[in-house]
Structure 1
Amino acid sequence: MSASTKFVPSRSKASFWSQIGVPPRGRKLYEAIEAGFDFATYQKLATATGIEKKELARITNIKSATLSRRAKDGKFSSDESDRLYRYAEVYNASLRLFENNKIKAFQWMHNPVKALGYIAPSDMLKTSAETEEVLSVIGRLEHGVFN
């Protein structure tokens, strides 16, 4: 975990997806991504996952100038929304892996993982292929397959 990445726990008992205001699956999710997430979703995602907003922007490849524009506009593009969704999906999967232990899920997300070539899962969300690999590793770990 980088020095700038520290965990700040969320206190909400609501489901992860309802905390961030994003449908977890299906047509409503696809439509939300295509329309672009509200800027509030970014703030809710940072809070729910315990990540600093600046670090979330880095991981999702949203430049600070773009982030400022999105704050004024109130919406992200569909591409930016998709990147935010990727982070949310992987974080939620890691949360399930660690039986809702937010600290362990956060630590796993932000530290190098042997099965990912010693790259942190949060650094493997730039493409859908990388994201699928992280989700595959989580699935293998859930089923006790460690290689």
Structure 2
Amino acid sequence: MSTRISLWDELGIPPRGPALHKALHEGLSYSSFRVLAGVAGLDRTALSKAVAIPSATLSRRAKQGRFNAEESDRLFRFARVYDAAIQLFEGDAEAAIHWMRHPVRGLGGERPIDMLTTSAEAEAVLDLIGQLEHGVVA
């Protein structure tokens, strides 16, 4: 039986709780961005667009080595939705990112990856994933 390292272990942050809250307030490291892009199979531009971090800001964060709390929250939001999509597709990360990059009827024809800028949009994607996991037709 192979043991897959969790996304959260790869990112070096817990998925919930006080330690996560502290990490987000302190700001995630730039290496978290690189890891997240790598595991999701996205280039830097695609991930920065998905989390609404302009390229100039991304360049500054690369030099500083850390994101601010708001940017960290957006990265966490992406990771949370991506992790839920992986669960939906029973561990198939490639299928998860494929689903996220294509229009979904249950989201009004929007692509899940384009619905991560706000917490309300991310919650809509997570709600849909929950419905799909439980066999509710969306």
Q: Give the TM-score of the pair, scaled to structure 1.
A: 0.90
Q: Within 2, Cα distance between the matches of 1:125 and 1:61?
A: 8
**Residues 60-97 of structure 1: CA deviation (Å, up to 9, x unaligned):** 11111101110111100100000000000000000000
**1:144 — aligned with what?**
135
> Does 89-98 or 103-112 show the bigger shift?
103-112
Q: Where does residue 122 of structure 1 map in the other structure?
A: 113
Structure-1 residue corresponding to 2:123? 132
SS of 2:63's equivalent in the other structure is: helix
- 4+ long deviations beyond 4 Å: none
1:3 matched to which residue of 2? Answer: none
Contact conserved, 1:35 with 1:77, CA < 8 A, in 2? yes
RMSD between superposed Cα atoms in Å: 1.1
CA contact (8 A) 1:94 1:105 kept: yes
CA displacement 1:3-41 (0-9 Å, x = unmatched): xxxxxxxxx931111111121110000110111001110
Q: Which residue number in structure 2 is paired with residue 108 of structure 1?
A: 99
Cα distance in 2 for partners of 1:82, 1:96 equals 21
| Aligned sequence identity (%) | 47
CA contact (8 A) 1:109 1:122 kept: yes
Does the 8 A contact of 1:20 with 1:48 survive in 2?
Answer: no
Structure 2: gaps spanning 5 or more residues: none
Q: Return the match for 1:55 from 46, 53, 60.
A: 46
Bigger relative CO (Cα 8 Å, ≥ 6 apart): 1
**1:103 Cα offset (Å):** 1.3
Tell whether 2:13 aligns with 1:22: yes
Tell me, yes or no, if the aligned pair for 1:43 and 1:53 is still in contact at 8 Å: yes
Which secondary structure state, in structure 1, belongs to the residue aligned with residue 4 of structure 2? coil
1:93 paired to 2:45 = no
Amino acid at match of 2:79: A
The whole-number CA distance in structure 2 between the counterparts of 1:90 and 1:125 is 8
